[in-house]
């Protein structure tokens, strides 16, 4: 069974929908399960494919894409030519995780998809979370950075040394540094949010694994 993040593209312009489909399918760990040109088609596709993420245009021939986002319990980004503040506020109030004004740079959506994968992995499952986890997930999704002191803690220095010149998982870093996996994970995520380490997702069978490497300057 595929562990990819399933995406539904909703746009009434088939050429634009195709561009977005191809962009998503180019990202490792993502797959477009369908494209829909109307709210009605989107609801049918939602029932048939149970996507994890929606890319939705604000204006559709049979209804309002933003109201569609509001009515479903699925993560969504709104992609629209509408650039007025009320529409953007309405989309965010409806629960959209982000808003992209068309036309936009492909790299912007690619980067947000990569961040969404990390955000989803951090908040996935049924584990109880602490506020630090919530703040970190938000920072990852929106590209923010956590407030930090001017110097690195002793534990952060141990974590960076444990990564070495290659890449490693949180479990490997924890074992090398003599700390728990959870502690290593917290510090690695904080370092990633501050662009001190790079993160990629390695996909296999089951849940994707975060792999960390020191950023080259």
Domain ranges of the chain: 5-104, 117-214
Per-residue three-class SS string for the chain: CCCCEEEEEECCCHHHHHHHHHHHHCCCCEEEEEEECCHHHHHHHHHHHCCCEEEECCEECCEEHHHHHHHCCCEEEEEECCCCHHHHHHHHHCCCCEEEECCCCHHHHHHHHHHHHHHHHHHCCCCCCCHHHHHHHHHHHHCCCCCCCCCCCHHHHHHHHHHCCCEECHHHHHHHHCCCHHHHHHHHHHHHHCCCEEEEEECCCCCCEEEEEECCC
Query: Average model confidence (pLDDT) for the chain?
Result: 87
Given this model, what pLDDT does residue 141 score? 86
The answer to whether 68 and 39 are in contact (CB under 8 A) is yes
Q: How confident is the model at residue 10 (pLDDT cuts 50, 70, 90)?
A: very high
Please give the model's pTM, rounded to 2 decimal places: 0.68
pLDDT band with cut points at 50, 70 and 90 for residue 125: confident
Q: How confident is the model at residue 1 (pLDDT cuts 50, 70, 90)?
A: very low
| CATH fold of 5-104 | Rossmann fold (3.40.50)
Across the range 73-98, mean pLDDT stands at 95
- 67-91 b/e with 16+ CB inside 10 Å = b? ebbeeeebbbbbbbebeeeebbebb
CATH number of 117-214: 1.10.10.10
Domains 5-104 and 117-214 share a fold: no
């Amino acid at each position: 069974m595929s562990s990819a993040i399933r995406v539904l593209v909703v746009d009434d312009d088939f050429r634009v929908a195709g561009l977005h489909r191809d962009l998503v399918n180019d990202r490792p760990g993502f797959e477009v399960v369908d494209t829909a040109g109307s709210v009605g088609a989107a609801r049918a596709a939602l029932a048939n494919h149970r996507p994890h993420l929606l890319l939705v245009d604000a204006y559709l021939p049979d209804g309002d894409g933003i109201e569609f986002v509001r009515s479903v319990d699925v993560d969504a980004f709104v992609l629209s030519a509408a650039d007025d503040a009320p529409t953007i506020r309405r989309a965010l109030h409806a629960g959209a995780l982000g808003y992209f004004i068309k036309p936009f740079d492909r790299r912007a959506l690619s980067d947000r998809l990569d961040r969404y994968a990390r955000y989803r992995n951090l908040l996935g499952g049924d584990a109880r979370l602490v506020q630090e986890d919530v703040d970190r997930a938000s920072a990852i999704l929106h590209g923010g950075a956590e407030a930090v002191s001017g110097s690195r803690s002793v534990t952060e220095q141990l974590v960076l040394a444990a990564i070495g010149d290659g890449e490693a998982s949180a479990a490997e870093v924890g074992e090398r540094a003599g700390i728990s996996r959870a502690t290593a994970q917290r510090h690695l995520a904080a370092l990633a949010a501050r662009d001190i380490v790079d993160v990629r997702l390695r996909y296999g069978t089951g849940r994707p694994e975060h792999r960390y490497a020191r950023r080259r300057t």
